[in-house]
């Protein structure tokens, strides 16, 4: 297993390097940071001087390696207003992680049990109702749901705050629900079909035949096997969730990475956008790596395949 | 699919339609969806774009829903019903074109990778993996930031950002088909490789792609409207649903109907597409039906 983990880490490093170059290159095409920084009243000479002093006239590859060496020393440069990119990111990432984890939590505690219930009651009324809710959940735009929930729960009923993260636990309920709804619906559908596959499997007939109680059959024998694809989905959804929070963060003025990224794009804050995209990607790659490794531990088949291959 | 792959094209569609019809939800959704397409087509004939859809009409500002204005009017005095109907044009065109881009390029890259293997596959799949490391929404945001905010860039951004997902699925699907005996048989009678790929492999590997394209269409419409909502897509005063929501946000406390109807339009459209997608999936692959 140690070798597996090492191999995964080693394949990620060159990919991160290439990706960072691509992001850097693409971002360098988006516009001229010098003229943005100099403002609209600066003369052509002023801008040229600024370009020279910022090193923007150097070839792309030189600029990239200068940036990369900065990055490896923990220096992602500064934004338009002189604020440090890494500092801004580190201030905001906990909020985004909070939001992603809270919606993940909703997904796991609501979607998986509902998926199991729907599978057990397959083609009965409960299943029809739950499946209909799931397809609505996939189809509903998260930001619209957010606005509607703000109107109902924050404005009409005044139960929850309208926006921001200042109200502790109460302020995360609505954003987490909106960010998680489509995910939760997807996981529910997945759980349902994965459970149905397993409920019809031969080993369950054996379990029933030897007199195992129905409850144990479902929870122990079927669920344990159904969980493997569910874990993969939940893991890979994390990256989608991190992207999806961009919109929800903007609706709820949640002070996370996503809403700041949008603000930076709008103000052409070149360094900030490059840094944020890179840092988010590294973060997600790390999360996916951990999920992959956990997955190998959960699924004995992968573990076995790998140990025989290595040994 | 195996049985249908061997019969004539028309009967293949006939078989598909026969299966699809059985799913009442999907059938109703298809009818509603065609209705939405019809609305999109005829709305320019019903309303004048310059005066009624984007023009200012200060005497009619912020009227709550009534008989004359079923969805009310907005802060510029424009009829929300007219704008929502007109908005269907934008969402459908953006969604369909974006999905077309990702399907064509994704299927091309994926099938080349899956069919030829070797170095070509290695390079394509590394690129795909790299693109998958960026969340697709973020990739789309970078593209929009790069080329500027407008309709065509939004379509390109949405299309390109989902290419890797299509490529990965297409590759898997092509590889399954490549293992079949009839492919071996074509190779044995000496058909050229390109002909095998175009004539035998891709048509037989298409059904998961069709299902994925249908599902992605819904996703693309939601993403497109959220981009416009964030100010990174279609801009006001264009009656795109996301842009309308963004516009209406400052008035939502007093006039909640302004945010209700455009969002409901997105929801119903996407719901129909997803239900159709489920129906298509079940009809194309009865084995998956449950």
Q: What pLDDT does residue B162 have?
A: 87
φ, ψ for residue A186, nearest 5 deg:
-65, -45
Q: Which residue of A has its CA nearest to B140?
A: A243
Provide the pLDDT for residue A29.
74
In the prediction, which pLDDT does A301 show?
66
Q: Which token pair is A182?
A: 């489509």
Chain-chain contact of B138 with A196 (C-beta, under 8 angstroms): no
Looking at residue B97, its pLDDT comes to 93
Distance CA B106, CA A266 (A): 30
* B114 vs B108: CA distance, rounded Å: 10
Q: With contact defined as beta carbons under 8 Å apart, do B62 and B73 qualify?
A: yes
Instruction: Give the distance from residue A2's alpha carbon to the nearest chain B alpha carbon, in angstroms.
Output: 23
Ranges of each domain in chain B: 24-288
Q: How far is CA A97 from the centre of its chain?
A: 9
- pLDDT for B3 equals 47
pLDDT at B1: 43
How far is residue B121 CA from its own chain's centroid?
A: 27
What class does CATH assign to A85-310? mainly alpha
Task: Answer whether A286 touches B (CB < 8 Å).
Answer: no
Specify burial of residue A92 (Cβ count, 10 A radius: 0-12, 13-18, 19+): buried
How confident is the model over A142-164, as pLDDT tens digits? Answer: 888 888 888 888 777 777 776 76
Every domain of chain A and the residues it spans? 85-310
Q: Is the pLDDT of residue A234 over 50?
A: yes
Pick B113 or A220 by higher pLDDT.
B113
- In terms of DSSP H, where are the helices of B117-201? 118-133, 136-147, 151-178, 181-188, 193-195
- Asked if the ipTM is above 0.85, the reply is no
Please report the pLDDT score of residue A310 as a whole number.
43
Mean pLDDT of chain A: 79
- Confidence check: pLDDT of B214 > 90: no
- pLDDT beyond 80 at B65: no
Between A173 and A37, the more confident residue is A173
Q: Would the pLDDT of B180 be above 70?
A: yes
What is the four-CA torsion angle of A24, A30, A35, A37, rounded to 10 degrees? -60
Residue B242 clears pLDDT 50, i.e. is over it: yes
Interchain pair A262, B230: CB under 8 A: yes
Mean pLDDT of chain B, nearest integer: 82
Identify the DSSP state of B63.
P
Q: Considering only CB atoms, which chain B residues are within 8 Å of A141?
A: 222, 225-226, 263, 266-267, 270
Q: Which of A186-195, A241-250, B218-227 has the lowest mean pLDDT?
A: A241-250
Q: Is A193 on the interface with B (CB under 8 A)?
A: yes
Backbone angles phi, psi at B79, to 5 degrees: -70, 120
Q: What is the pLDDT of residues A51-86, one digit of tens each?
A: 777 777 777 888 888 888 888 888 888 777 778 888
Q: Which of 69-98 (B) contact A at CB < 8 A?
A: none
Res A54: pLDDT: 72
Which range among A53-67, A279-293, B112-126 has the greatest average pLDDT? B112-126
Which pLDDT band holds residue A305 (cuts at 50, 70, 90)?
low
Q: Please tell me the distance from the alpha carbon of residue B235 to that of residue A264, in angstroms, as a whole number.
A: 18
User: By C-alpha distance, which of A151, A149, A182 is closest to B222?
Assistant: A182
Whether B290 shows a pLDDT value over 60: the answer reads no
Q: B24-288 in CATH: which number? A: 1.10.3720.10
- Cα of A90 vs its chain's centroid, Å: 16
């Amino acid at each position: 297993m140690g070798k597996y983990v090492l191999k995964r880490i080693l394949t990620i490093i060159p990919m991160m390097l290439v990706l960072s170059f691509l992001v850097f290159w693409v971002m360098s095409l988006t516009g001229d940071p010098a003229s943005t920084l100099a403002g609209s009243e600066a003369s052509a000479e002023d801008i040229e001087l600024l370009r020279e002093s910022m090193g923007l006239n150097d070839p792309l590859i030189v600029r990239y390696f200068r940036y990369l060496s900065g990055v490896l020393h923990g220096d992602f440069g500064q934004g338009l207003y002189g604020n440090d990119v890494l500092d801004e990111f580190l201030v905001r990432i906990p909020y985004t992680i909070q939001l992603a984890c809270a919606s993940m939590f909703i997904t796991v505690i609501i979607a998986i049990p509902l998926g199991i219930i729907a599978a057990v009651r397959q083609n009965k009324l409960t299943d029809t109702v739950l499946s209909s809710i799931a397809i609505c959940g996939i189809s509903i735009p998260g930001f619209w749901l957010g606005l509607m929930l703000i109107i109902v729960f924050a404005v009409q009923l005044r139960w929850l705050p309208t926006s921001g993260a200042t109200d502790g636990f109460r302020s995360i309920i609505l954003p987490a629900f909106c960010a998680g709804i489509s995910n939760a619906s997807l996981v529910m559908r997945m759980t349902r079909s994965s459970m149905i596959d397993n409920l019809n499997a031969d080993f369950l007939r054996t379990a029933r035949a030897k007199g195992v109680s129905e409850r144990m059959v479902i929870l122990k024998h079927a669920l344990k096997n159904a969980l493997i694809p569910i874990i993969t989905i939940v893991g890979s959804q994390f990256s989608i969730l991190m992207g999806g929070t961009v919109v929800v963060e903007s609706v709820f003025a949640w002070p996370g990475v996503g809403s700041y990224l949008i603000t930076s794009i709008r103000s052409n804050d070149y360094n900030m956008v490059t840094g944020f995209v890179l840092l988010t990607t590294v973060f997600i790659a790390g999360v996916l790596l951990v999920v992959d490794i956990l997955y190998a531990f959960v699924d004995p088949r992968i573990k076995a395949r790998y140990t025989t291959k290595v040994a | 699919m195996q049985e249908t792959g061997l019969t004539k094209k028309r009967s293949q569609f006939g078989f598909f339609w026969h299966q699809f019809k059985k799913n009442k939800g999907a059938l109703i959704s298809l009818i509603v969806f065609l209705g939405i397409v019809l609305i999109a087509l005829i709305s320019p004939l019903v309303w004048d774009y310059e005066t009624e859809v984007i023009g200012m009409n200060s005497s009619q500002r912020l009227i709550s829903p009534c008989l004359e204005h079923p969805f009310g009017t907005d802060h510029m005095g424009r009829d929300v019903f007219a704008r929502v109907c007109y908005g269907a044009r934008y969402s459908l065109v953006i969604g369909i074109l974006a999905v077309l881009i990702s399907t064509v390029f994704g299927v091309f890259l994926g099938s080349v990778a899956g069919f030829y293997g070797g170095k070509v596959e290695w390079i394509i799949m590394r690129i795909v993996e790299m693109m998958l490391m960026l969340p697709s929404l973020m990739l789309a945001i970078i593209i929009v930031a790069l080329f500027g905010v407008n309709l065509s860039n939004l379509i390109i951004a949405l299309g390109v950002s989902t290419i890797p997902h299509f490529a990965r699925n297409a590759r898997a699907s092509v590889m399954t088909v490549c293992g079949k005996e009839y492919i071996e048989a074509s190779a044995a009678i000496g058909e050229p490789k390109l002909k095998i790929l175009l004539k035998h492999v891709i048509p037989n590997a298409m059904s998961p792609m069709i299902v994925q394209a249908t599902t992605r269409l819904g996703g693309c419409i939601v993403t497109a409207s959220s981009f416009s909502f964030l100010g990174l897509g279609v801009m006001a005063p264009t009656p795109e649903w996301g842009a309308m929501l963004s516009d209406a946000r400052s008035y939502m406390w007093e006039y909640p109907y302004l945010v209700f109807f455009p969002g409901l339009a997105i929801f119903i459209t996407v719901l129909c597409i997803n239900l159709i997608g489920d129906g298509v999936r079940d009809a194309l692959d009865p084995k998956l039906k449950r």
